[in-house]
Amino acid sequence: MKIIDTLKLAFTSLVLFASPCSYGVDVHADGAAENVSAVEALSPALRKLLSSEMQALQSGMMSIIPAYVSGDWGEVAHIAGQMKNSYILKQNLTDEQMHELHTTLPVDFVSQDQKFHYYSGMLEHAAKNRKAELVGFYYSRLAEACVSCHTQYAGHKFPALDSGEVAAEHKH
Protein backbone atom coordinates (compact mmCIF):
# COMPACT_ATOMS: atom_id res chain seq x y z
CA MET A 1 0.00 0.00 0.00
CA LYS A 2 1.41 3.36 -0.98
CA ILE A 3 1.82 5.97 1.72
CA ILE A 4 -0.76 8.26 0.06
CA ASP A 5 -3.29 5.40 0.11
CA THR A 6 -2.49 4.80 3.75
CA LEU A 7 -2.99 8.47 4.53
CA LYS A 8 -6.34 8.49 2.75
CA LEU A 9 -7.39 5.47 4.80
CA ALA A 10 -6.12 7.08 7.97
CA PHE A 11 -7.97 10.35 7.44
CA THR A 12 -11.13 8.50 6.44
CA SER A 13 -10.79 6.47 9.62
CA LEU A 14 -10.53 9.62 11.70
CA VAL A 15 -14.05 10.55 10.69
CA LEU A 16 -15.19 7.40 12.46
CA PHE A 17 -13.68 8.60 15.70
CA ALA A 18 -15.40 11.98 15.78
CA SER A 19 -17.25 11.23 19.02
CA PRO A 20 -16.30 9.23 22.08
CA CYS A 21 -17.39 5.62 22.17
CA SER A 22 -20.20 4.40 24.34
CA TYR A 23 -21.88 1.05 24.34
CA GLY A 24 -25.41 -0.22 24.64
CA VAL A 25 -28.07 -2.57 23.40
CA ASP A 26 -29.14 -2.33 19.79
CA VAL A 27 -32.87 -3.15 19.70
CA HIS A 28 -34.68 -3.59 16.39
CA ALA A 29 -38.30 -2.82 15.54
CA ASP A 30 -39.32 -6.44 16.10
CA GLY A 31 -38.03 -6.17 19.67
CA ALA A 32 -35.09 -8.52 19.14
CA ALA A 33 -31.88 -7.36 20.72
CA GLU A 34 -28.82 -7.68 18.52
CA ASN A 35 -25.26 -7.49 19.76
CA VAL A 36 -26.47 -7.10 23.34
CA SER A 37 -23.59 -5.41 25.03
CA ALA A 38 -22.42 -6.69 28.36
CA VAL A 39 -20.70 -3.33 28.75
CA GLU A 40 -24.00 -1.93 30.03
CA ALA A 41 -23.89 -4.57 32.75
CA LEU A 42 -20.62 -3.18 34.09
CA SER A 43 -20.66 -1.05 37.20
CA PRO A 44 -21.00 2.70 36.61
CA ALA A 45 -17.44 3.31 37.81
CA LEU A 46 -16.05 0.73 35.41
CA ARG A 47 -18.14 2.06 32.51
CA LYS A 48 -16.76 5.53 33.24
CA LEU A 49 -13.19 4.20 33.14
CA LEU A 50 -13.93 2.37 29.88
CA SER A 51 -15.38 5.55 28.38
CA SER A 52 -12.30 7.49 29.45
CA GLU A 53 -10.14 4.79 27.86
CA MET A 54 -12.06 5.06 24.57
CA GLN A 55 -11.64 8.85 24.58
CA ALA A 56 -7.90 8.50 25.22
CA LEU A 57 -7.56 5.92 22.44
CA GLN A 58 -9.47 8.23 20.08
CA SER A 59 -7.12 11.06 20.97
CA GLY A 60 -4.12 8.80 20.42
CA MET A 61 -5.36 7.66 17.02
CA MET A 62 -5.90 11.27 15.98
CA SER A 63 -2.49 12.38 17.32
CA ILE A 64 -0.62 9.74 15.37
CA ILE A 65 -1.51 11.25 11.97
CA PRO A 66 0.46 14.52 12.23
CA ALA A 67 3.40 12.68 13.79
CA TYR A 68 3.30 10.02 11.08
CA VAL A 69 3.11 12.41 8.13
CA SER A 70 5.98 14.48 9.52
CA GLY A 71 8.17 11.45 10.23
CA ASP A 72 8.20 12.01 13.98
CA TRP A 73 8.83 8.32 14.69
CA GLY A 74 9.58 8.94 18.36
CA GLU A 75 6.16 10.51 18.89
CA VAL A 76 4.38 7.76 16.95
CA ALA A 77 6.21 5.15 19.04
CA HIS A 78 5.38 7.01 22.26
CA ILE A 79 1.66 7.26 21.46
CA ALA A 80 1.49 3.65 20.25
CA GLY A 81 3.26 2.53 23.43
CA GLN A 82 0.68 4.34 25.55
CA MET A 83 -2.11 2.70 23.57
CA LYS A 84 -0.48 -0.72 23.91
CA ASN A 85 -0.20 -0.31 27.66
CA SER A 86 -3.70 1.16 28.04
CA TYR A 87 -3.87 4.74 29.05
CA ILE A 88 -6.34 4.30 31.88
CA LEU A 89 -7.62 0.81 32.47
CA LYS A 90 -4.39 -0.95 33.41
CA GLN A 91 -3.37 1.98 35.55
CA ASN A 92 -6.60 2.46 37.50
CA LEU A 93 -8.34 -0.91 37.79
CA THR A 94 -8.71 -2.58 41.13
CA ASP A 95 -8.47 -6.38 41.29
CA GLU A 96 -12.25 -6.49 41.70
CA GLN A 97 -12.82 -4.36 38.61
CA MET A 98 -10.40 -6.50 36.59
CA HIS A 99 -12.38 -9.56 37.67
CA GLU A 100 -15.64 -7.81 36.74
CA LEU A 101 -14.30 -7.01 33.26
CA HIS A 102 -13.23 -10.59 32.60
CA THR A 103 -16.43 -12.15 33.92
CA THR A 104 -18.91 -9.68 32.39
CA LEU A 105 -17.55 -8.88 28.95
CA PRO A 106 -17.91 -11.42 26.12
CA VAL A 107 -14.82 -13.42 25.20
CA ASP A 108 -14.89 -11.83 21.74
CA PHE A 109 -14.81 -8.31 23.20
CA VAL A 110 -11.74 -9.22 25.25
CA SER A 111 -10.17 -10.90 22.22
CA GLN A 112 -10.73 -7.81 20.08
CA ASP A 113 -9.25 -5.64 22.81
CA GLN A 114 -6.17 -7.87 22.97
CA LYS A 115 -5.80 -7.67 19.18
CA PHE A 116 -5.98 -3.87 19.34
CA HIS A 117 -3.21 -3.74 21.94
CA TYR A 118 -1.12 -6.21 19.93
CA TYR A 119 -1.41 -3.95 16.87
CA SER A 120 -0.48 -0.96 19.04
CA GLY A 121 2.68 -2.79 20.07
CA MET A 122 3.49 -3.60 16.46
CA LEU A 123 2.92 0.05 15.52
CA GLU A 124 5.28 1.09 18.32
CA HIS A 125 7.91 -1.36 17.05
CA ALA A 126 7.55 -0.20 13.42
CA ALA A 127 7.89 3.45 14.47
CA LYS A 128 10.98 2.75 16.58
CA ASN A 129 12.50 1.13 13.50
CA ARG A 130 11.44 4.03 11.24
CA LYS A 131 9.47 1.75 8.92
CA ALA A 132 7.01 4.20 7.34
CA GLU A 133 5.11 1.59 5.35
CA LEU A 134 4.68 -0.65 8.41
CA VAL A 135 3.57 2.32 10.50
CA GLY A 136 0.83 2.94 7.94
CA PHE A 137 -0.06 -0.75 7.86
CA TYR A 138 -0.40 -1.11 11.62
CA TYR A 139 -2.26 2.18 11.91
CA SER A 140 -4.78 0.83 9.41
CA ARG A 141 -5.02 -2.43 11.40
CA LEU A 142 -5.79 -0.40 14.52
CA ALA A 143 -8.50 1.50 12.66
CA GLU A 144 -9.95 -1.80 11.39
CA ALA A 145 -9.95 -3.15 14.96
CA CYS A 146 -11.89 -0.08 16.09
CA VAL A 147 -14.42 -0.45 13.29
CA SER A 148 -14.89 -4.14 14.04
CA CYS A 149 -15.51 -3.57 17.73
CA HIS A 150 -17.75 -0.55 17.15
CA THR A 151 -19.74 -2.54 14.59
CA GLN A 152 -20.37 -5.33 17.07
CA TYR A 153 -20.71 -3.44 20.34
CA ALA A 154 -21.57 0.18 19.54
CA GLY A 155 -23.73 0.14 16.43
CA HIS A 156 -26.16 2.57 18.03
CA LYS A 157 -23.34 5.08 18.53
CA PHE A 158 -21.95 4.59 15.01
CA PRO A 159 -25.03 3.89 12.86
CA ALA A 160 -23.10 4.08 9.59
CA LEU A 161 -21.26 0.96 10.72
CA ASP A 162 -24.51 -0.89 11.36
CA SER A 163 -24.95 -1.97 7.75
CA GLY A 164 -24.79 -5.67 6.97
CA GLU A 165 -21.94 -5.12 4.53
CA VAL A 166 -19.65 -3.49 7.08
CA ALA A 167 -20.62 -5.91 9.83
CA ALA A 168 -19.87 -8.96 7.69
CA GLU A 169 -16.62 -7.46 6.46
CA HIS A 170 -15.23 -6.75 9.93
CA LYS A 171 -16.37 -9.71 12.00
CA HIS A 172 -13.48 -11.99 12.85
Q: What domains sit in the chain, N to C, each tagged with a CATH number? A: 3-17+35-170 (1.20.120.10)
pLDDT at residue 128 greater than cutoff 60: yes
Note if the pTM is more than 0.75: no
Strand partners, 27: 33
Most confident of 20-24, 59-63, 83-87, 103-107: 59-63
Q: In which band, very low, low, confident or very high, does the pLDDT at 87 lie, cut at 50, 70 and 90?
A: low
Phi then psi for residue 121, to 5 deg, are -65, -40
* pLDDT > 90 fraction of the chain, expressed in percent and rounded: 38
Average pLDDT over residues 76-82: 97
Average pLDDT over residues 137-158: 88
